Amino acid sequence: MTADSEQQRSPLFYVISALVFVALAALLWLLGSRIIRGTAPPVAGEIAPDFALTDFETGEIHTLESLEGKIIVLNFWASWCVPCATEAPELEAIQQAYADRDVVVLGVDYADTETEALAFLEKYEITYINGPDLGTRISQAYRIKGVPETYVIAPDGTLAETIIGPATSAHLSGILDDLLP
């Protein structure tokens, strides 16, 4: 690279170089952000990821914003998941016990078929709100590693507790009693 060749370069060369650099940087940023997003789960104390859950029964859409001021027990489950079957009555018990205390239990049906999911809900006589994880958007936002997983969200929208594996009513009661005034 001599001084002469530097002098011979046209402005177009610099424009193209800059564009290529920006394109490469954007590509790397996009790929990097995907990787980082793909590995970082939500942390307790931070604002919980937003979601839109369409109720199987009513078609109503429930979001973090629409449930503001309430404690949310967000449970990921599937009809093919064996531990979810043992967990479902525990969550139903929580729903019954805390229904009048601003606690909402939401079931997010993950990677499931609707027919099997509805049969599961009927079999275990589930009355709390359930809906499909359309496009696996909610499970991706919460970075779940499998089912069942349960996230307890405080009334201010921050994540209070994460339970990996089947949740029990005793464990959940302890968390909810601490959060309730």
Partner 1 sequence: MRFLLRALLLCAAVFLWSVSSVQAQDAPTDDDVNDIAKQLFCPTCENIPLDQCGTDACIQWRATISDLLADGNTEADIKAYFVAQHGERVLNVPTARGFGLLLWLSPLLFAVIALGVYIRFARNTQPVKVVQAAPVTATTPQADYISQVEAELDRRRGL
Nearest to partner 1 of 66, 113 (CB atom):
113
Interatomic CA distance for residues 164 and 149, integer angstroms:
5
Nearest to partner 1 of 61, 170 (CB atom):
61
> Is 146 among the residues that bind partner 1 (CB under 8 A)?
yes
Closest distance to partner 1 from the beta carbon of 50 (Å): 17
Bridge partners (DSSP) listed for residue 153: 72, 159
Stretches 48-56, 95-103, 105-113, 173-181: which one binds partner 1 (CB under 8 A)? 105-113
Phi-psi region of 135 (alpha: psi -120 to 50; beta: other; left: phi over 0): left
* Site size with partner 1, rule: CB under 8 A: 26
Bridge partners (DSSP) listed for residue 71: 103
Number of H helices and E strands in the chain, helices first, is 6, 7
> Is 87 among the residues that bind partner 1 (CB under 8 A)?
no
> Is 18 among the residues that bind partner 1 (CB under 8 A)?
no
Interatomic CA distance for residues 88 and 98, integer angstroms:
15
Contacts with partner 1, 23-42, as mask; x by CB under 8 A: xx--x--x---x--------
> Is 164 among the residues that bind partner 1 (CB under 8 A)?
no
> Is 134 among the residues that bind partner 1 (CB under 8 A)?
yes
Report how far apart, in Å, the C-alpha atoms of 81 and of each of 49, 78, 88, 134, 141 are: 24, 5, 11, 18, 21
Residues 74, 150 contacting (CB under 8 angstroms): yes
Closest distance to partner 1 from the beta carbon of 88 (Å): 16
Q: Which residues bind partner 1 (CB under 8 A)?
A: 1, 5, 20, 23-24, 27, 30, 34, 78-80, 110-113, 115-116, 132-137, 139-140, 146
